[in-house]
Amino acid sequence: MPPKNSNFVTYSKNVFIPVTNVCRNRCGYCGFRREPGQPDARLMKSGEITHVLENGVKAGCTEALFTFGEYAEEVPVYREWLKEVGYSSTLEYLLFLCETAIDIGILPHTNAGILTRSELKALKPLNASMGLMLESTATLDAHKDCPGKLSEIRLDMIREAGRLKIPYTTGLLVGIGEKREDRIESLEAIAGLHREYEHIQEVIIQNFVPKPGTPMQNFPEPTAEEMIDTILLARQILPPDVAVQVAPNLIDPKALIAKGVTDLGGISPLTIDWINPEAEWPDVKDLQEKLGHILLRERLPIYPQYVKRGWYSARIGGLVRQLSDREGYRKLP
């Protein structure tokens, strides 16, 4: 079967908000997390966040990507910081941030690690979509100090998101010690959940990039062949309505589009990729030139099929319709 949408690829125009880099996990590959004592460990203040959201809207961005270390509340000093900003829980603060984003005119996409069913339920009406990387179903050394990276727990959360009809983003982190069979198993697990709940809008095939100062700083990156193979597997295993995403700041997407990549994720004109801060976003015009006949099309953080099915709340409905009607989105299938 030829890859879907082979004549165009989509992306979303976003701002990346690293709300907190305090985290209960210690992934071997992560350069985002900070120890609570480090000088740049932080919880962003709402004024700072509002400023980024406003500039995002001015720059034409439609997505506010709220990213968190997982369950930072397990870290005592973080609870003090929360009190200082006037909130008693991360959820309460995040709900406020989502409300603020919607009022300003930008759609939230939350990627906060593990959340409970009740947290997901509270966040659903205020998010266009949400996400959690499965990473891998394999038991890996990279995750040895990470209670939240047990694949059963991640799969359970992705299932809950499906029950709640939340348009969802998940994916694999490729090259963290897993084998090809593990990638197949991971993709099959995601495909199974999508067959049951139909909520997976995109699967990110993210290539591991070593970060200095982390336990995996000298670990080899996945090879180009492994990435191509994983994209081909994703296209074979995932149902055709699921987008396959790579990050254009981490890997040259051109050859991968021919193998089945249909989306390039969030591209920000304003903020850096806080998870891969060394990897600059390509300029959209330059990227379009490089892609030649493959057209780059902007999308919202909620894919069109979920807009059609009405998988969004009344609270964001006005904004979803207003942004969907904007020039450039109208021709989306």
Ligand X SMILES: O=c1nc2n(C[C@H](O)[C@H](O)[C@H](O)CO)c3cc(O)ccc3cc-2c(=O)[nH]1
Work out whether 172 is an interface residue with ligand X (CB under 6 A): no
Stretch that binds ligand SF4, among 20-28, 55-63, 208-216, 322-330 (CB under 6 A): 20-28
Q: Is 294 exposed, middle or buried (0-12, 13-18, 19+ CB in 10 A)?
A: middle
Contact map string, positions 285 to 304, toward ligand X, x by CB under 6 A: ----------------x---
Rank residues 126 and 134 by Cβ distance to ligand MET and give the closer one.
134
User: Exposed, middle or buried: residue 88 (CB in 10 Å: 0-12, 13-18, 19+)?
Assistant: exposed
Residue nearest to ligand MET (CB): 113
Contact assessment for residue 333 and residue 45, using Cβ atoms and an 8 Å cutoff: no
Contacts of ligand SF4 in 137-156 (CB under 6 A): 148
Asked whether position 32 contacts ligand SF4 by CB under 6 A, the answer is yes
**What is the contact mask toward ligand SF4 in residues 52 to 81, using x (rule: CB under 6 A)?**
-----------------xx-----------
Going by the annotation, the residues of the binding site for [4Fe-4S] cluster are 23, 27, 30
Neighbours of 105 (CB within 10 A): 17
**Sequence-separated (6 or more) residues with CB below 8 Å from residue 194:** 162, 200, 238, 239, 242
Nearer to ligand X, 17 or 140 (CB): 17
Q: State the amino acid at position 213 in one-letter form.
A: G
**Minimum distance, C-beta of residue 306 to ligand SF4, in the bound complex (Å):** 25
**How far apart, in Å, do the first and last CA atoms of the chain sit?**
19
Other Cβ atoms less than 10 A from the Cβ of 79: the count is 15
Q: Which is nearer to ligand MET, 4 or 34 (CB)?
A: 34
* Beta bridge partner(s), residue 174: 207
Residues of this chain that bind ligand 5AD (CB under 6 A): 29-31, 111, 133, 135, 173, 206, 208-209, 211, 275-276
